[in-house]
């Protein structure tokens, strides 16, 4: 650590440390030419303020924590892009934490973020998070936190979500209008609000079309894609199913795989629609009819809300919540059958 710090600059310039500090922060109480001299040397020596010292002193880190279930997934990848973009623009740094859908991990992460390491948190809760004491804890410590997509229903906090009920309704309606009568609904975890809301939309659509709800057509997936594919195959074999609505991307893909494995033709025997942001899904044959969430925008919006709160030292209130619209994307098949 040959570290060039304020002391070093001060020595070389025959100035006091605080004068140098002020000069670099462009304080009005420092002579213009002095500022120039200071800045010149700082540039020459490539001075960079020590962020830890600065954070310690100012009680803020200019860093946020992003807590998400996973990243190997187009939705969260895009979200990170949005967040990083805004963070960079506002001079914030981004720490990333993956829960792998594990409630214990999420709690542990929350625990050690509650010590000043970050000024705020952006979070999409893990699917198993039924117990949210750890989140309440963060709230108590006054750490601003913005939930996005997978929110914690039990807490009154800022949320950036999409119109889950509505898009669930539309997706189901889409299948119904395409002639489906036995539509399966696939979700990832019963504890997740998005799964619930989308399902409510699904149920409402069924009801509006006078189709009876059948609990046998609801499948709750798990971690392993392999396992999920099995579950879906089992469903297709034991139940009469002519449509599948997958409430997350992975399940939509597993549905495709399951149909393929069973030699079911996809638009013919079973129609599939799923939440997905995968560009490549449009190249499938038939292309995956998808509900596409504005992932990048969600990341940006969530980050913006957090940063303005942080920079203006304003508290976050649930009223700042935002609901963005997901889009139903249907593409024509180029099937040559």
DSSP notation for 170-193:
HHHHHHHHTT-SSEEEEES-TT-H
Distance CA 198, CA 205 (A): 11
What interhelical angle do 74-89 and 295-311 show, nearest 10? 30
Distance CA 321, CA 317 (A): 8
Stretch that binds a copy of itself, among 11-19, 202-210, 252-260, 303-311 (CB under 8 A): 252-260
Minimum distance from residue 29 beta carbon to a copy of itself (Å): 26
Kindly tell me which residue out of 43, 46, 58, 312 binds DNA, with binding defined by CB under 7 A.
58
DSSP notation for 317-329:
-GGG-EEEPPEEE
Distance CA 145, CA 122 (A): 6
Instruction: Please tell me whether residue 50 binds a copy of itself under the rule CB under 8 A.
Output: yes
Instruction: Please tell me whether residue 313 binds a copy of itself under the rule CB under 8 A.
Output: no
Supply 163's token pair: 């119109």
Minimum distance from residue 41 beta carbon to DNA (Å): 13
Minimum distance from residue 173 beta carbon to a copy of itself (Å): 26
Strands of the 289-292 sheet, one edge to the other: 218-220, 183-187, 243-246, 271-275, 289-292, 327-329
Handedness of CA 92, 98, 104, 106 (dihedral sign): positive
Give per-residue burial for 54-73: e unless 16+ CB within 10 Å, then b: ebeeeebbbbbbbbbbbeeb
Kindly tell me which residue out of 11, 40, 44, 49 binds DNA, with binding defined by CB under 7 A.
49
Comparing CB distances to DNA, the nearer of 42 and 146 is 42
Interface residues for a copy of itself in 118-137 (CB under 8 A)? 137
Comparing CB distances to DNA, the nearer of 52 and 336 is 52
Instruction: Compose the 18-37 pattern: x for residues touching DNA by CB under 7 A, - for all others.
Output: xx-xx-xx-xxxxxx-x---
Minimum distance from residue 8 beta carbon to DNA (Å): 8
Comparing CB distances to a copy of itself, the nearer of 207 and 330 is 330
Distance CA 86, CA 95 (A): 14
Instruction: Compose the 218-257 pattern: x for residues touching DNA by CB under 7 A, - for all others.
Output: ----------------------------------------
Distance CA 264, CA 24 (A): 68
Phi, psi of 151 (to 5 degrees): -100, 170
Which of DNA, a copy of itself, none interacts with 25 (beta carbon under 5 to 8 A by kind)?
DNA
Instruction: Please tell me whether residue 176 binds DNA under the rule CB under 7 A.
Output: no
Instruction: Compose the 209-248 pattern: x for residues touching a copy of itself by CB under 8 A, - for all others.
Output: ----------------x-----------------------
CA angle 309, 310, 311 (to 5 degrees): 95
Give contact residues for DNA (rule: CB under 7 A). 1, 3, 5-7, 14-19, 21-22, 24-25, 27-32, 34, 49-50, 53-54, 56-59
* Residues engaged in binding a copy of itself (CB under 8 A): 1-3, 46, 48-53, 55-56, 59, 61, 63, 70-74, 77-78, 80-81, 84-85, 88, 93-98, 111-112, 114-117, 137, 141-142, 225, 253, 256-257, 260, 278-281, 283-285, 334, 336-337
């Amino acid at each position: 650590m040959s570290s060039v710090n304020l002391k070093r600059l001060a020595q070389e310039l025959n100035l006091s440390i605080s004068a140098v500090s002020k000069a670099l922060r462009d304080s009005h109480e420092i002579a213009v030419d002095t500022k120039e001299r200071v800045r010149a040397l700082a540039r020459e020596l490539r001075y960079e303020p020590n962020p830890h010292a600065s954070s310690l002193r100012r009680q803020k880190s200019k860093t946020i924590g992003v807590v998400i279930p996973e990243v190997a997934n187009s939705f969260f990848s895009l979200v990170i892009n949005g967040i990083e973009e805004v963070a960079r623009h506002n001079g914030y740094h981004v720490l990333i934490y993956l829960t792998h859908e594990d409630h214990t991990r999420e709690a542990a992460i929350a625990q050690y973020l509650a010590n000043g390491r970050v000024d705020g948190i952006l979070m999409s809760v893990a699917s198993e998070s039924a117990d949210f004491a750890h989140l309440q804890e963060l709230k108590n410590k006054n750490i601003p936190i913005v939930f996005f997509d997978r929110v914690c229903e039990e807490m009154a906090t800022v949320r950036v979500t999409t119109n889950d009920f509505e898009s669930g309704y539309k997706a189901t309606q889409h299948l119904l209008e395409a002639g489906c009568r036995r539509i399966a609904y696939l979700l990832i975890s019963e504890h997740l609000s998005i799964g619930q809301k989308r399902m409510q939309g699904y149920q409402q659509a069924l009801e509006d079309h006078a189709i009876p709800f059948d609990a046998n057509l609801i499948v709750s997936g798990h971690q392993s894609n392999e396992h999920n594919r099995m579950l879906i195959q089992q469903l297709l074999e034991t139940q009469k199913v002519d449509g599948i609505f997958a409430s997350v991307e992975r399940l939509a893909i597993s549905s495709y795989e399951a149909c393929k494995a069973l030699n079911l033709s996809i638009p013919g025997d079973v129609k599939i629609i799923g939440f997905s942001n995968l560009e490549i899904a449009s190249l499938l044959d038939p292309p995956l009819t998808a509900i596409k969430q504005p992932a990048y925008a969600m990341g940006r919006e969530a980050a913006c809300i957090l940063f303005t709160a942080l920079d203006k030292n304003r508290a976050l209130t649930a009223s700042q919540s935002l609901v963005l619209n997901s889009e139903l994307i249907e593409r024509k098949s180029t099937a040559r059958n």
